[in-house]
Structure 1
């Protein structure tokens, strides 16, 4: 059985052959170093990059640029939340523009109201005229009978009857005229085909052509509408009648 060898005095003095416990410096270093110095086994980056970055010198110009950019960003963020009040001139200009806009709206509304009121009044007048037209048309034969009675009384000397009939006739015609009825009695005037109907012609050289000689039956109209044209006789053989355009030109 081999015997353990005894170290020589020189080796003993140097410590050769002794088991000296060694501290785990790597574990201690891992506990004292910051996390930025640790290495990730799954990361392919250089383990010494953290230490190199920490040891790298700081660029003063880059730091100043970063600080300036941060200041500008903070200022913009502050300005975004600040409401800038307009100046007095801008406020006055804005108020004038709003006043002009409201004035324009008022004028337009006023014009539309005037147009509506005028049209409504015209419609009421037209409806009133249409309501009266039918009544007047039904009364026209009564007026004709009155006029024939007056003509008979005048020719046969019925003085008492004539005065009474004339009074009733005048009162009836006056009532219709008051409601807008116009009597068409164009004797001695130029013939108007819109308001008169020629039933015969008579020779008369003393007056211009197309002059109404006699009225057999009067006509009536309301406003611009002719309810019934007058029945007349028209002259012929006289000088030509000048047209209204020629008279206006002269």
Structure 2
């Protein structure tokens, strides 16, 4: 405001003129001498003064804009700093959460591995237990069969003399049954009883050894005599004096037989595989 007042004062001073006097021409000359400036120069001076005043007036306003700009920039920087701090805080929280989840995942993976190891151990124990059970079952079954065979073997040994008596009675009755109907009926009856007894024994796994005409086998046969016969292969069973019995692959009693000699040697039997291939 003071600048504007100065301009007006100057303008007033510049445009002011002494009061008119009766001598008009002298006034004109006095103005030219007193001002010592041309009208164009005066206008230029006034314009320069106005620009200077305007510069003085605008200068405070420019300073206020600079302060405002500085405040805006400071606010922007503060906002950016606050945003950066928030982002950093959120990033730290996310990292902490990530680390916690990674730790939990590691713990879970450890638990999974431990569970897998325990499951593998349990499966191994189960496999061993099943194998032990299977072995026990087989051993028990084998023992049961063995006990049954032993019991049956004792029974067979006790029955064999009676079976031998039945066979001798059948042979004697058949020898004297010619023309005697009663003797024939007796022989048929005794033969039926003998067949029933042998059938019961066969159901229990007993096998009759009756090797007449077969090669002599010292494991199943007991030779009680030799018979010369050139028509048969050497060491062939000629007669069976007493039948043998086998139970479960075990010979309960060998057959009592006579063996031939004097004949040709029996040819070696080909293996089963070679016989099938031929």
* TM class by smaller structure: 0.5 to 0.7
Decide which structure has greater helix share: 2
The match for 1:148 is 168
- Report SS of the residue matched to 2:232: coil
Q: Which protein has the larger Cα radius of gyration, Structure 1 or Structure 2? A: 2
Q: Measured at CA, do residues 100 and 242 of structure 1 come closer, stay the same or move farther in structure 2, by a change above 3 Å?
A: farther
Q: Does 1:201 align with 2:221?
A: no
| Pairing partner for 1:180 from 181, 192, 205 | 205
Q: Could you say what the CA RMSD is over the residues aligned between the two structures, in angstroms? A: 2.0
- Report SS of the residue matched to 2:141: helix
The match for 2:235 is 210
User: Where does the alignment leave 5 or more consecutive residues of structure 1 unmatched?
Assistant: 1-83
Q: Does 1:162 align with 2:162?
A: no
User: Where does the alignment leave 5 or more consecutive residues of structure 2 unmatched?
Assistant: 1-102, 178-182
Deviation for aligned residue 1:95: 2.4
Write the distance in 2 (CA, Å) between the matches of 1:111 and 1:147: 50
Write the distance in 2 (CA, Å) between the matches of 1:109 and 1:127: 26
Q: Measured at CA, do residues 248 and 173 of structure 1 come closer, stay the same or move farther in structure 2, by a change above 3 Å?
A: closer
The match for 1:46 is none
Count the aligned residue pairs.
166
Superposed, 1:1-250 pairs within 5 Å as 85=104, 86-157=106-177, 158-243=183-268, 247=271
- Report SS of the residue matched to 1:190: coil
Write the distance in 2 (CA, Å) between the matches of 1:101 and 1:242: 60
Write the distance in 2 (CA, Å) between the matches of 1:167 and 1:235: 32
Normalised to the residue count of structure 2, the TM-score between the two structures is 0.55
Write the distance in 2 (CA, Å) between the matches of 1:249 and 1:87: 64
Deviation for aligned residue 1:155: 1.0
- Report SS of the residue matched to 2:258: strand
- Report SS of the residue matched to 1:207: coil
Write the distance in 2 (CA, Å) between the matches of 1:107 and 1:179: 36
Deviation for aligned residue 1:143: 0.7
Write the distance in 2 (CA, Å) between the matches of 1:97 and 1:90: 11
